[in-house]
Amino acid sequence: MSYEHLNSKQQEAVRQIEGPLLILAGAGSGKTSTMTHRIAYMVEQGIRPWNILAVTFTNKAAKEMRSRVEDLIGDCRDMWIMTFHAMCLRILRVYPEVIGYQPNFVIYDTTDQKTLVKNILKEKGISDKEFSPQYLLAIISDCKEKGMDPEKYRQTMETNYKTKAVHMVYEEYQARLMKNNAMDFDDILLNCVRLFEKDEEALLKYQHRFHYIMVDEYQDTNHIQYKLVKMLAEAHHNICVVGDDDQCIYEWRGADIRNILDFEKDFPEAKVIKLEQNYRSKGNILAAAHSVIRNNHSRKSKKLWTEKDAGEKIKYYRAETDREEAAHVARQISWLQRQGRSYNDFAILYRTNAQSRLFEQTLSREAIPYRVLSGMRYYDRKEVKDMMAYMRLVVNPADDLSLRRIINEPKRGMGDKTVEKIQAFALVRGESMLMALCNKEVQDTLPGKAYEKVKAMVECLMECRSERENLRVSDIYDRLLVHTGYLKALEDSNTIEAEGRIENLMEFKTVIAEYESGAENPTIEEFMEQLTLAAEVDNYDESQETVTLMTMHSAKGLEFPVVFLPGLEDGLFPGNKAFDSGAGMEEERRLCYVGMTRAKELLFLSSAAERVRYGRTEYTRESQFLRELDKSLIEGDAVYQKKTGASSLGVSTGSWDGYAREPYKPFDSLKYARMETKASAGAGDADLAAGDKVSHPKFGEGLVIDGDGKTVTVAFDSAGIKKMAVGIAPLKKI
């Protein structure tokens, strides 16, 4: 077989088959081609296929690797090319009794896990509001990734009420799994390690079978995966790990960068080969990405290079506002498309899912086809659709479809049978389900645990409806978000997924704020009508060419001719939490590196001097990563630097004059927005009497002319006389 099409370093890696080998494969350096040719070379040298193990992370990657190997050497059915979970599952099916299982054990998915934990909480008398199933499962998963059983967790953690409850649930959860002859996904890996620890004969069998081991994406391995690989390689030390420490961006879900950084400590005789020639990007893109990533301390020394020309410089645009930033991106796409590029040449990669909304709206308005990958359209996200259903009920109480969607969102103890019974009541009475629920006789038929929550939801909806003419749309939204319990339920779940949902809900405040600022007479009815049109405006044929929108995390492993990286501002990218630790900032910097190296030909960076986040206008400072970037590689707007000498008046923020009114301090905008939402959802002044001067966010200043304790009549300077509910209308005494 000829290997002349591979470069010298790739050929060296292919032929180095004995002993430990670390292949540092930079972005776009031909990693998969090197790995598959290395396997083919082994077989060519007389190594039996069944002595080779190649492990990767996804079924897609494993399938592609197997396909490429078969193209090179033909049938390879005796070779193990699979994911970590598939490998462990195959081993566990042979020796289940060693770890206390029957051969027909089943695997529980996330839904099964949640149901099991809910049952345990109920039987133990523990409130699922105090300890939500998602929260407990996150702790259990973290323990398993670290190899901690319930007893080790109890010994390791400080003893208090919280840890006692977690230990109790964890212990019972594992006992139920064993009783049901079931494992969860974490157990598959952990039980394989325990099998090898308990049964030396089983370990020796697989150590002697797999003389040669290859591990892809080694920088993404966690503690258990690392331990598995080390145990299997102990006999022969013919282990090859392939990865790039500069692309370790999943530490938040268990990946441990130390595994790849400390490989030479685990195997002192290891040989290191760096694949630094890049086949993807133009020279300036690689140089720019390197000028950022070199600021990380926890990394192996390497620098990508290419035989391609330098190409165009990186384009940077500092927009006045986030809307102008989105419009700029759309203009660039339109112009380049007219120059002959296809829409599928373009990708917009952002740090958070909430950023997609403005780009979706702008691309739709400009008739540019797009699709959101590894995610969904902003208005199709569950939490947004839930809140739209609440708001539709304020406008139209007869909307049974919306009520059925949210009657148990958040959980209120309304089972299917109870909902069907309410529907039957409504049918008999000839009214909508919401109106039926307003009736005390119907409320009294509700299960005890549902009574108070459903009653509170109904009261909130009807109060918002009766006062909708006296409330801003934003006031109604805040009241629904807080008084229905929707926001609190997400906060209590304490998961990364819930944090993302909250962020999208706070971004929805921006949608409302933009509507209110532009409408002549903003009403919730008009807002919902506009929203419905906006949500349906971009239905498109998926077979057509489209611009791709996705997060930088989702883009890993992909490439595009033209890439846009928007939102390069401190607090957004890098995010606020990154400023709390050096390790956090380094992972954000690696994410920036991944985003930049997705571009093949053109790379556009942008930021906005003003950004509306969660309904508030923020004045931003350009990202630390922009300030680290080699300025000789950028064209377009200048990146502001901190002023020095006599002219230094403050800290540069990237604003047009280069200064902020106050020194910049990163803060948790999301937390601030939640607090603001809860505050604005609170009642107005209740202690009002005739003669009091008041202010109202919608109608301005006025004078109280009458009141009966429940309602108050106010004469407003500009809006005339209004009658409002005390404690609901947002009236503030002046």
Could you list the active site residues? 31-32, 216-217, 247, 598
CA 715 to chain centre: 48
Q: Which two structure tokens, joined as six digits, stand for 254?
A: 């268990």
Q: Kindly report the backbone phi and psi dihedral angles of residue 732, in degrees, each rounded to the nearest multiple of 5, phi listed first.
A: -120, 130
Q: Which two structure tokens, joined as six digits, stand for 242?
A: 């392939």
3-state DSSP of 368-393: CCEEECCCCCHHHCHHHHHHHHHHHH
CA 645 to chain centre: 42
Using alpha carbons, select from 593, 574, 626 the residue that is nearest to residue 246.
Answer: 593
User: Do the beta carbons of residue 539 and residue 581 sit within 8 Å?
Assistant: no
Q: Kindly report the backbone phi and psi dihedral angles of residue 215, in degrees, each rounded to the nearest multiple of 5, phi listed first.
A: -125, 120
Q: Which amino acid is at 136?
A: L
CA dihedral 59→353→550→368, nearest 10 degrees, is 140
User: Do the beta carbons of residue 181 and residue 102 sit within 8 Å?
Assistant: yes
Cis peptide leading into 561, omega within 30 of 0?
A: no
SS3 assignment, position 713: strand
E strand segments, 322-364: 346-350
Which stretches of 23-58 are DSSP H helices?
31-44
Q: Which amino acid is at 190?
A: L
- Residue 76 to residue 227: CA distance in whole angstroms: 27
Using alpha carbons, select from 318, 319, 283, 320 the residue that is nearest to residue 304.
Answer: 283
Using alpha carbons, select from 386, 415, 417 the residue that is nearest to residue 402.
Answer: 386
Report which secondary-structure segment, H or E, holds 711.
Answer: strand 711-716
SS3 assignment, position 491: helix
- Residue 6 to residue 37: CA distance in whole angstroms: 9
User: Do the beta carbons of residue 14 and residue 3 sit within 8 Å?
Assistant: yes
Strand-strand pairing, 711-716 and 720-725 = antiparallel
Task: Give the other-Cβ count within 10 Å of 532's Cβ.
Answer: 13
List the Cα angle 543/549/555 in 5-degree steps: 105
SS3 assignment, position 72: helix
Sign of CA dihedral 107, 113, 115, 120: positive
